[in-house]
């Protein structure tokens, strides 16, 4: 079984702490063949992207992303672990559609080193991360419908390879307020989303971080994963979304089984933004 964890964060992300070297060594120890380190590049409304690397994390702490340190370090890791582990240089680009100029500049400036880009939605109106919502005070069904509209918008534009954690709000809804959501009413929108993605040669990820959190479900869950496959979806990566070394490679074997169960025959990996298909 070819193990490739395609979503994780290092100390260069505002919410990460691990050294690049620790990540690579952990991956090798766990028998992974390949990893993509995908530190956050969240795009905010109305700011040039290089100013977006300095911001105040809610709670008051000032954060600075050392982008050249990150990508320089990753190039070193590629060389250091060649023959033992394929290290892919990734990015998790957050809501690029709010500021397409900034997103395009980022891709232009780092396009020659990037192997893989996840397009994610974390923040919606007023650049507020869904993480900070008070789900007890809002209509969660409406909120998620709105989130899917943001995904649709992202699928129509943006330069990325796979769409990240399609059911991101559900993780926090359950974690904080034990709220679950019936996803059947969103089926038509998901069909449109998958049509947009497959037409542009893009895919989705199977994000398994929910299994080491209270949610105990995948993002997206099996029903939506199955729908993606039925809609002709082929490009699929598996990601632990690890922010700590202990979760690197988490749930890989189970994720392979999930993909096989809904009819996938190949796992996708990327080099220089080009997909390669590996038999499950």
The maximal CA–CA distance of the chain, rounded, in angstroms, is 52
Q: Which of residues 76-95 bind Zn ion (CB under 5 A)?
A: 92
CB 279 within 8 A of CB 268: no
Q: Which is nearer to Zn ion, 129 or 191 (CB)?
A: 129
CB of 168 to Zn ion, least distance (A): 7
Q: Is residue 80 within 8 Å of residue 24, measured between CB atoms?
A: yes
Please give the sequence-ordered ranges of beta strands (E in DSSP) within the chain, or none if there are none: 4-5, 34-37, 40-42, 54-57, 61-64, 86-94, 116-120, 162-163, 203-207, 236-239, 266-271, 274-279
Binding mask 56-75 for Zn ion (x = CB under 5 A): --------------------
Q: Are strands 274-279 and 266-271 parallel, antiparallel or unpaired?
A: antiparallel
Closest approach of Zn ion to the CB of residue 63, in Å = 15
Task: Please say which residue, 115 or 241, places its beta carbon nearer to Zn ion.
Answer: 241
Minimum CB distance to Zn ion, residue 242 (Å): 9
Task: Give the separation between CA 135 and CA 169, rounded to whole angstroms.
Answer: 9
Q: Which is nearer to Zn ion, 251 or 260 (CB)?
A: 251
34 binds Zn ion (CB under 5 A): no
Sign, CA dihedral 15-206-41-134, equals: negative
Count the Cβ atoms, other than its own, within 10 Å of residue 278: 13
- Output 26 or 120, the one with its CB closest to Zn ion: 120
- Report in angstroms how near the CB of residue 24 gets to Zn ion at its nearest: 18
How far apart, in whole angstroms, are the C-alpha atoms of residue 231 and residue 193?
10
Handedness of CA 198, 106, 207, 139 (dihedral sign): negative
For the bound state, the minimum distance from the C-beta of residue 160 to Zn ion, rounded and expressed in Å, comes to 12
Residues that bind Zn ion (rule: CB under 5 A) add up to a total of 3
What is the spatial distance between Cα 273 and Cα 80, in angstroms, rounded to a whole number?
21
Task: Convert residues 101-140 into a mask of x (bound to Zn ion by CB under 5 A) and - (unbound).
Answer: -------------------x--------------------
In angstroms, what is the minimal distance from the CB of 10 to Zn ion?
11
**Nearer residue to Zn ion within complex by CB, 90 or 233:** 90
- Residues 223-262 touching Zn ion, rule: CB under 5 A, are 241
Our CB check for Zn ion shows the closer of 34 and 92 to be 92
* Residues in 166-195 at the binding interface with Zn ion, rule: CB under 5 A: none
Query: Distance between CA 82 and CA 163 in Å, rounded?
Result: 28
The footprint of Zn ion (CB under 5 A) covers: 92, 120, 241
């Amino acid at each position: 079984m070819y193990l490739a964890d395609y979503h994780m964060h290092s100390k260069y992300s505002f919410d990460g702490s691990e050294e690049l070297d620790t990540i690579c060594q952990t991956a090798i120890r766990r028998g992974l063949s390949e990893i993509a380190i995908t530190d956050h590049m969240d795009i905010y409304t109305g700011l040039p992207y290089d100013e977006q690397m300095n911001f105040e994390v809610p709670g008051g702490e000032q954060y600075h992303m050392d982008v050249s340190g990150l990508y320089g370090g990753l190039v070193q890791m590629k060389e250091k672990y060649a023959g033992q582990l394929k290290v892919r240089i990734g990015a998790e680009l957050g809501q690029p559609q709010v500021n397409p100029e900034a997103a395009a500049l980022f891709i232009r400036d780092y396009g020659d080193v990037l192997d893989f880009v996840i397009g994610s939605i974390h923040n919606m109106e007023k650049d507020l991360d869904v993480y900070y919502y008070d789900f007890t005070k809002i209509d969660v069904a409406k909120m998620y419908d709105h989130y899917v509209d943001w995904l649709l918008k992202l699928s129509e534009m943006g330069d990325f390879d796979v769409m990240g954690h399609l059911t991101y709000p559900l993780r926090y809804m359950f974690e904080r307020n034990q709220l679950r959501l019936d996803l059947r009413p969103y089926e038509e929108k998901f069909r449109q989303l998958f049509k947009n993605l497959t037409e542009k040669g893009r895919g989705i990820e199977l994000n398994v971080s929910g299994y080491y959190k209270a949610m105990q479900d995948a993002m997206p869950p099996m029903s939506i994963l199955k729908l993606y496959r039925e809609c002709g979806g082929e490009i699929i990566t598996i990601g632990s979304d690890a922010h700590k070394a202990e979760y690197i490679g988490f749930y890989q074997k189970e994720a392979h089984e999930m993909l096989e169960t809904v009819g996938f025959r190949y796992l996708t990996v990327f080099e220089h933004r080009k997909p390669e298909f590996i038999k499950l």
